[in-house]
Structure 1
Amino acid sequence: MLTALGNAVRASGVSVLLTASIAAGAAIGHLRPAAGELLGSQVDATLLALVTLLFFGVRFDAVVRAWGNLRFLALTALATYVFVPAIGYAIASAMLAAHPLLMVGLTIYFMAPCTDWFLGFTRLAHGNVALGAALIPINMAGQLLLYPVYLRLFAHGPVEVQAGIVGDTLLHWFLAPMAVAVLAHYGLRRLMGAERFGRLLRRADRAVPWAIALLVMEIFAANIAVILEYRAAFAWILPAVFIFFACTFLLGEGISRLGRFAYPEHTLFTMSIAARNAPLMLAVTMAALPGEPLIYAALVIGMLVEFPHLAVLRRVLAGQRQRANRRAAQEAGHRPGNNLTVF
């Protein structure tokens, strides 16, 4: 429980960290343009470090544990890669039609499932954490493989996507770092032993938000003039994100009832389709679509709203659990010796 609480506190703290990095980057870029350009020149190195950290922390061996729940995996894949991107595109295109680059950025944010912090909120809400750990590498691979498809479907027109650029980007910026990170992951685990390597993984996990914050600061420092020019349009991003989260909650409720998920799987499913993978999508998009600060800024703004939403969602799911337990206790109250717990 303490680990889960720590995860949630850190996740909520990321919002504060990102807000501070946006403010610092904007101030540096506005007051000291030369310093902003210098920070912007470091984006590639920071991006590579972030991608390597993200892949290094993935527990790929957890996939084996998922094969016993194929029905859950099938419904999750259907929602994650069909329903949720369609909902996200519909919302972004309806609310940001006048600002196509922001629309593309928000659509990219909506289409990618989370591969990290959703698990801490799932644990706090008493969801199925073991199955959730197995979703992490599956979601990581799925969103990378489908990224070129989504980009051509949803970004056709607002941005120019040259033939082969996404594939080359994934190969040089992500598949190669992934290979290095996975080799380092398993090689160091063998050399260090499980306990010491576990501590190293936790340090790597804690380093990820700081790498994201540094990247965000560099983006805003180098591009604050363009972002300020379109500042009024960003007011539309917040209600769009709110509507998206409301729709994913309703989708989670509907599919969980149709699939007859028990509470732990219901919670995991709801959290997994709500939380988004903005760090990886920010990295992929910066490499695949260089020189588009409005797209990057839309991704960052969406990430800021996500953590408060996940905290509220945890409380809603916990309330459902408590009400179900009370109903079960009332039904079993007249049966002597029956101490039933539903969830």
Structure 2
Amino acid sequence: MAVLLAAPCLGAAPAMAWAVTEETEAKISDAQRRIEESAAAYDAALSRIAELEQQVADNEQRIAELTEELPAQQERSDDAVTVLYKMNREGNSLINMVLASESIVDFLTRIDYLMRYQDRNLETIRTLKAMQQELVDTQASLGAALAEAEEQERQAETSLAEAQEAREQAQREAQEEARREREAREAARKAAEEAAAAAQRAAEEAAREQEAAQGENDEQPEVEAPPVEEVPSTNPSDDGADWSNDKASFVAQWAPRINDYLAGSPMAGTGEVFAEAAWDYGVDPRWSPAISAVESSKGAACFRPHNAWGWGSASWGSWDEAIRAHVSGLARGYGYTLSESAAKKYCPPNWQHWYNRCAEEMNMI
């Protein structure tokens, strides 16, 4: 299994952040698939609704035009019918025209004139019928478009509800995991403190016994404290993401916050892309921007073009493409938000430091 290596985790000793692997790319969870499918269905429904709204507007405009034009066309058609009736009644037969003509040229001229005159009147009548049929067809198309728009709205509501429920579930699970990790860290801290205190007491007792055995003039040995390893000490606050909103409201809430955080950096102005990607893939909207700060000072020191996250050897042609790819990878390979397990996978050599840095950055957004 190929494992992609990334640029060194900033702010720490040289160590490599591990990007998503082929395995995590291939094994998308059912929950994540549900999130992504609901987002795609919601976007597709909204896109179709927009198309139908334009179709409805075009149909309504054409109906208004036809309704305005039809009375005049009806009047012209009535006049044409009257003319044709008179032509037939007055006996403009072929024999009459032959008898009335002074020459063959005169006869042909009369024939051509009458044919043109008749065709023009017939065309007036045909135009009326065509306009009437177009009106009927346009009204039917309008009705069908309105019915489909209503169906698409129902589908959008269903997809939105599914999207909201799936994201809220991911959020709840992440909060529960964070709670368990905090409790485990607290228990480990207490156990470590008790073990250190016991070791200190044992060392002091051993030192006293040695001092008593060697006499008062002997030099007292120094008691060394056990080394202290950095542990996760900063927890990201709850993201406060309101997944009960629709996508537009979610983006409107988070894009300005992320833009404020990224202001002045090479990634300035990408808050809307981060927020859209967070919605589409169902992750904490602060996580990817925070990692960009830890790994590349918000895009100032990229390992590869537009790779602000130490994301393997990947490179992209734009921030838009890069952000969406990274957020997708986080969702599929690391979960909803920052966790100890995610930190151990993303930056295993010094995951504790990486975890603390990410948490600090997330709390700034």
Same fold (TM > 0.5): no
Higher RCO (C-alpha under 8 Å, 6+ residues apart): 1
**Normalised-by-shorter TM-score class:** under 0.3
Structure whose CA Rg is larger: 2
TM-score when normalising by structure 1: 0.24
